[in-house]
Structure 1
Amino acid sequence: MNAFDLSRLRPRLPSPLEPVEDERFARRGLTLLLKREDLIHPDLPGNKWRKLALNLGAAAGRPVLTFGGAYSNHLRATAAAGRLLGFPTVGIVRGDELAGRPLNPSLARCAADGMRLEFVDRATYRAKNDPATLAKLLERAPAGAYVVPEGGSNVLAVQGCVELGRELRGAADTVAVACGTGGTLAGLAAGLSPGQRAWGVPVLKGGFLGAEVRALQEAAFGGPRGDWTLDERFHGGGYARVSPDLEAFARDFEARHGLAIERLYVAKMLHGLTTLAEEGAFPAGTRLAAVVTGAPDGSQSAASSR
C-alpha cells in the first residue's frame, strides 16, 4: 500500500446516514436524512477527505502546495494531512494585508500543523491558475511540490467524490450539498443512480459555479454525468458571511437535533433545504439526504462578521 494512502488513518467509511425527526419535513410527508461526512475523520472530515485521498496518493509524499482564503477548510485539512502523514505543506493565502496581522484560529491551526503560509495580494491570487504566476509561486516552494487547486477541486477530487454518490444509491431521492468550488457536486452527481438528483447550494455569489461543475465533469468523465442542479438563493451574501437569519436558523437546528452546525457551508445548505420543504417544492414521500460536509470550528464567529 502507498505510504501516503489515507486509508491507513482508518477513516469511517462509508460515513453514517442518520434519519432526523423534524416536523418541518414530516408534516409534508418528507423524510430527512443526514449524511454524516463530518464523522469520516476528526482532522480530515467530509468532502475534504474525499477530495484529498486520490490527490495525496498522486503526490506520493512530495510537498503539497495549495490555495485558500483566511478561513479555508481545505487549507486546514491539507495541513492536517501533512502532519499526520509526514509531508511538507505550503498554503497560498488570499490577501497580503493579512501577513502582518495575528493569525485567525483557522490559519493558526494550519501553522501549528506545519503548513508554511504565504500571503499574496488578491490580483496574484486571482491569477493563480496562470502558468507564469504559478511558476513564480512554485519557485518559492520546496522542490518537486505537487499542486492541489483551491478547494481541492480537480479531476482526482471529483473522482474521489463519486464514492459519496455511490454510498447514497437507493437511499434518497434528492441529495443536497453545499458547494464552494463545485468538485463535490460534480462527483456526487456522477455516483448517484438514475432517478436520483443532486441539489447544490453555492456558498459564494456570482452565478459562475454551473460552468465550473460542467468543466470538472468534462475533465473527469469526458462529459456530463448525473442529474444535478444549483440553487443560488442561499449564499447569505457570499462566502464567510453569516447573516442574522442564518445564525438564528443554525442555532434553532442545533437546539432541535443536538448537532453542532458548521455555518459557512452546512448551515446554508440546511437552510435552503428547509426553505424548499416549507415552500412545498418536494412531493410527499420524497427522501431528502443532506450532506454534512464538515464540523464547526472556532474561526467561524470571526468569519461571520466579514
Structure 2
Amino acid sequence: MQYSSISKITLEGRVLFVKRDDLIDPHLAGNKYRKLYTLLQTPSSTYDTIVSYGGTQSNAMLAIAAMAQKKEWNFTYYTKQLSQTQRKQLSGNFAHALALGMEHIELEDALYREYIASLRLTADSRTFIVDQGGAIGEAKVGLEVLAQEIIAQKKSGAIESDIYSLSTPSGTGTTALFLALALPEYKVYTTPCIGDVAYLKEQMSALAELPKNLIILPPKKKYHFAKPYKEFLEIYKKLLKSGVEFDLLYAPSMFEALLEQTNEKILYIHSGGVSGNESMLARYSQKGWS
C-alpha cells in the first residue's frame, strides 16, 4: 500500500505537519483503518459476523461497516435507544453505515451495559467482537505498520528529520498508546476527548502499561463529548482555511492543547472521521453558529 501523504498547515501562526491517514479510504480511514488493519488482513472465510456497539455517530461504527462490506461479513451494531430526533434525522455516519449493510439493534438503556457485557459469552468462533471505538488488542499490529511508515517517510525526506513529536487525539487512547509503544524514540502527545485524564489512563492501562514517551495533555476545560462548542467550530474553520478538513469531535480539542502546551515541531496523525461533520455542522447551525 502507498503511504499516506504529509501536509503542512499553519494554525494561528504555528506551522504543523499532518500525516493524511484521512485519505486512505472514504469510510475506512484514519485511526480506524489502523485499528482494523489486522481484521482487514484476515481471510474473509475466518468469520461470518462482526459485532460492535456504541454511539450512533461513531467513526468506528462507519469504518467497521465499510470493512464488513469489503469482507462480505455481516455487521451487527448495538446502541442505546434512539431519541425521536435521531429517528427523524438519519444522517451522517449512522445513515452511511446503514447504507453499507449494518444491522442496527437498539437496547433499553437499563439493560444496555449488562447485555454488552454478555456478548462474548454468547458469541461463537465465527463471530468477532470489536469493542467500542475499536479498542482491541489486535489494533497493535496496525499501529506498528503506521510506525514503520513514519520511519520510512523520515528516511525518504517526506517527514523532516528533526521531527520527533507526534500527536493524535484520544477516545479510548488505543491509537496513542500503541503508537507510543511502537516508537519509543518519539514523544506522542494526546488529550482525552471522552472523559478526563484519569478515565483515559484507565482505558489505556487495560490494554498495556503506559510508556514514558506517551504524554497526556489535559484539556483547557471539561468538555462534554459531541457537544457543540464555539471554540471548536472556530478551530475547525481555521484548520479548513489551512487546506485540510479535520473532524469536529476530536481534532479541535487536540489542536487547542497543542497550541497552548507545546512549542516544538509536531506531526499530527489525522484520525479521519470527517464524514461525521455532516451531522455535527447541522447541530452547530441549529444553535445559530456557522
CA contact (8 A) 2:11 2:238 kept: no
CA contact (8 A) 1:240 1:303 kept: no
- TM-score relative to the length of structure 1: 0.78
Find 1:17's aligned residue among 6, 9, 22: 6
1:89-118 Cα shifts (integer Å, max 9, x gaps): 111123354698233332111111000001
Q: Aligned pair 1:186/2:186, yes or no?
A: no
Which position in structure 2 is the counterpart of 1:4? none
Write the letter of the residue equivalent to 1:288.
I
The within-5 A match list for 1:164-203 is 164-169=146-151, 171=159, 172-194=163-185, 196-203=186-193
* Partner Cα distance (1:108, 1:21) in 2: 33
State which drifts further: 239-248 or 295-304: 295-304
Write the letter of the residue equivalent to 2:37.
A
Q: CA deviation at 1:251?
A: 0.8
* Partner Cα distance (1:98, 1:52) in 2: 32
Q: Aligned pair 1:268/2:268, yes or no?
A: no
Which position in structure 2 is the counterpart of 1:8? none
Which position in structure 1 is the counterpart of 2:61? 75
Q: CA deviation at 1:230?
A: 1.3
1:19-55 Cα shifts (integer Å, max 9, x gaps): 2345622xxxxx5211111011222011111111213
Which position in structure 1 is the counterpart of 2:104? 117
User: Secondary structure at 1:240's aligned position in 2?
Assistant: coil
Give the gaps of 5 or more residues in structure 1: 1-10, 26-30, 218-222
Find 2:133's aligned residue among 151, 174, 177: 151
* Partner Cα distance (1:133, 1:77) in 2: 20
CA contact (8 A) 1:260 1:295 kept: no
User: Secondary structure at 1:20's aligned position in 2?
Assistant: strand
Which position in structure 2 is the counterpart of 1:254? 240
- TM-score relative to the length of structure 2: 0.82
Give the gaps of 5 or more residues in structure 2: none
User: Secondary structure at 1:267's aligned position in 2?
Assistant: helix
The alignment's C-alpha RMSD in Å is: 2.8
Write the letter of the residue equivalent to 1:215.
A
CA contact (8 A) 1:261 1:296 kept: yes
* Partner Cα distance (2:58, 2:233) in 1: 19
Taking a change above 3 Å as real, the CA distance of residues 99 and 261 of structure 1, as seen in their structure-2 partners, is: closer
Taking a change above 3 Å as real, the CA distance of residues 96 and 191 of structure 1, as seen in their structure-2 partners, is: same
Matched residues, number: 271
Q: Aligned pair 1:287/2:265, yes or no?
A: yes
* Partner Cα distance (2:231, 2:68) in 1: 37
Q: CA deviation at 1:302?
A: 4.4
User: Secondary structure at 1:264's aligned position in 2?
Assistant: coil
CA contact (8 A) 1:203 1:268 kept: yes
Taking a change above 3 Å as real, the CA distance of residues 81 and 213 of structure 1, as seen in their structure-2 partners, is: same
**Identity, % of aligned positions:** 22
Q: CA deviation at 1:181?
A: 1.1
* Partner Cα distance (2:232, 2:97) in 1: 27
